Each structure stands twice: as C-alpha cells, then as structure tokens.
Homo-oligomer: A and B are copies of this chain.
Amino acid sequence: MRDTPVTGAIMTPDTQQPPAALAPGSAGIVRPECAQFDMPLALAGGTSLERYQLVYETYGALDADRSNAVLVCHALNASHHVAGCYEDDPGNVGWWDNMVGPGKPLDTERFFVVGVNNLGSCFGSTGPGSINPATGKPYGPDFPVVTVEDWVHAQARLADRLGVERFAAVMGGSLGGMQALAWSYLYPERVAHCLVMASTARLSAQNIAFNEVARRAILADPDFHGGRFYEHGVVPARGLQVARMVGHITYQSDDVMAEKFGRALRSGNYGFSFDVEFEIESYLRYQAEKFSRYFDANTYLLITRALDYFDPARECGGDLARALKPATAEFFVASFSTDWRFSPEHSHEIVQALLRNGRNVTYAEIAASHGHDAFLLDDPQYHALVRAYFERIAEVQGGR
C-alpha cells in the first residue's frame, strides 16, 4: 500500500518532496492506527454496514481539555496519511505534508490532527476489497454505495473513540471540503470551525459528465468482471488508467499544462503513430499507470458517485442556505482562480448561503495558476491565510 496525494501533481518526479524525516517541519515518523466498529452504521442508501474498520493517523497531542483536535478529510484518491512518513518507507510522505506539521499552517505543536481513510476506500478502511463477512469473499460490487454524509457519520464515531467531543476545526479540499461542510450541518455542536477549500456544494452537469466517463471506462474494461475482479486475479488497469487520465486533466489548468508541457515532443519529431509522442501524453500515461497499480476500481466508482450525489440543498428545494441552517461553525472558504473543476463560483455559492444565515465567513479567492490542484500546493498567500486562520483559532482557545 502506498498513499498518494489527492491528485498526482505533487507526486510527479519534478515536484516530489524529500523524505519527510529529513525535512524541517515534518510531522516525522508516523504510524497508522486501526479502529474497529461493531455497531451497524446506517447508510443513506437504505442499507447498513454491520461492522467495519477505519484506518487513521494522528499528529500532535490532544489537549487535556480535548479542545484542540482538527479533522482533515481526504479527497478522491488520498487517505489517512496526511503528513509525515513511515519508518519503513521514508519516501511515502503524507499528501498534505506541506500544510500539516510542526510550525506549518496547521501546526501540530498546537493542534491534534486526525486523518482518516473513508469507508469504501482502498487504504485500509473497510471497502470493496475487504472481506464481506456474509460471503467470506471480497465485497466487490456488493459494497454499498456510500455518501459524503455516510463518511461523516463514520468519522463522528471515530471522534467518539478518540475522545473528541468537539473539533476545533474540520477541514478539507475538494471532496474533503464537502465532508467538512457536511460536518457543519450534521454535527453543528461538534465543529467550531470549518475550512472548505476548492470545493462545491454540488457538482455541475459537466462535473458529473467527467465522472461518468471515468466510470464507463472502468465498467467497460473486461477485466472488471462486474466488480469481482479480485476473484479473477486481475485488475481493470486499462479502465482505471483512462479514468485517471480524465481526472488528471480536470485537476490542472489549461495554463499550467501549457507551461509544463506545451507541445513538447519526446523525440523532437513527429513519429506518425499513436505511440507516446508529446510530453503531455507521456506524463498522463505515467500517472495513469502508477495509479492503476495501487488504486481500487470499485473504490473509484464509489467515490465518484459520492461526489455526484453530494447536494445538501436537494432536500431543501435547492435552497443551500436552508440546508446549511443548522451550522453554527465559523467558516474559512477558499477558491483558486484557475480551478475549472470547482471554479470560484462554486465557492461563492457556499459563501453566500452562509452569509444569508448570518455565519461568520472568511473567504479567499486565491490567484493561482495550478487549477484544482492548487489546494494541495504550498502557495505562500494561501498558506499564510490558513496559518493566520489557525493562529486565531489557537488564540481564542487561549493557545499554547
């Protein structure tokens, strides 16, 4: 098992970070933990999971009054491994290591940070690749379709287990931001601050369309075997690769792709074939191949569906302010100028709904060239804002 960032951009060879153990400000050597839950979890789809496990990591120490916990929620293909690295795998650096660590914007010398792998994922928490106790075989397609809200309910149980009654903050980017937002209205009394980056309160038709392309590619791969590929000793690598390529394009801005790759050719000349010729092709294939070696195809289906379904306003006649009415947290919302997956307009909608409800909102629209991926990168303006926000939280708490 190797964890990777939410999108591949920060793991590309040209931007790969040095082992965290060596880097100043690193969370250092970390170890994942596992929590077992034997009480059934009712799911939005009408079924329930009888028992499950959640894999998580923590960084920093919980205060005596248990008031300094921060939950970091992950996006599509990331995991509980938010920061630091593993003793036996020092190159495996957490996906948000630039954000979380001693002295970093989310300072683990002040805060007790929790990263948790979501249900249905493939990094240790119960998911389609786990053994279904009812059959003794992997769940595969029998793993229930889960929602952002289902994840939040499972995370709340983990918080109980950790003795965290109320989070100082719940935060996340993209799909992680949806979870943070869902915490604010599902468990208002348990969230003091909510940080929602590069996210949305609902996918657009175009967003859903890209997810559907990815799912089609996976479902159409003969090695998918209706989701029971585990039993056939294969993985639908080709479908997963196409899915990943589509995703990857939407994570980056046109501009940054132009700047990084442009029309550069690998050999300098046209080969008049369908092999890799342009650098951008090579990059996409490399990322896709890497992805298909560690990511689970059923998980990809589940997580894209959770993205599609997230729409808190849906049960309120489309009125997002009404859906967010229960929330009492203070909010930090950030968007990035070149993010065309969840453009700043998506964040505006959230901010406007919160302001209509009289919530306290800090909103930053950050000029950044990297598109959706920007929330993962250490843009100085962005990090300074997050740092300032957490410093304020710490001060209000009588920070240490």
Quick check: is A267 within 8 A (CB to CB) of the other chain?
no
Say which one of A13-21, A153-161, A271-279, A354-362 lies at the interface with B: A271-279
Q: Which of A242, A280, A311 has the most CB of B within 10 A?
A: A242
Please give the distance in Å from A149's CB to the nearest CB on chain B: 12
Contact of A278 among B260, B277, B278, B308 (CB under 8 A): B308
Closest residue of chain B to A308 (Cβ to Cβ) is B278
Q: Mark A253-297, 1 if CB is under 8 A from B, else 0.
A: 010011011110000001011100110110011001000000000
User: Does the CB pair A212–B245 fall under 8 Å?
Assistant: yes
Report if A245-B209 is in contact (Cβ < 8 Å); known contacts: A202-B263, A272-B145, A301-B274. yes
CA distance A212 to B266 in the complex (A): 15
Report if A204-B254 is in contact (Cβ < 8 Å); known contacts: A273-B145, A311-B263. yes
For A245, the chain B residues whose CB sits under 8 A away are 209, 212-213, 216
CA distance A278 to B216 in the complex (A): 14
Chain A interfacial residues counted at CB < 8 A: 56
Contact of A241 among B215, B220, B248, B280 (CB under 8 A): B220
For A45, the chain B residues whose CB sits under 8 A away are 270, 272
Quick check: is A383 within 8 A (CB to CB) of the other chain?
no
For A270, the chain B residues whose CB sits under 8 A away are 44-45, 309
22 inter-chain pairs at a CB distance below 8 angstroms, sorted by A residue, are A44-B270, A45-B272, A145-B273, A202-B263, A204-B263, A205-B254, A205-B258, A205-B260, A205-B263, A206-B249, A206-B254, A208-B280, A209-B281, A209-B284, A212-B245, A213-B242, A213-B246, A216-B238, A216-B241, A216-B242, A242-B242, A272-B305
Known: A202-B263, A216-B288; 6 extra A-B contacts, CB below 8 A, are A204-B257, A205-B254, A208-B280, A219-B274, A220-B238, A278-B308
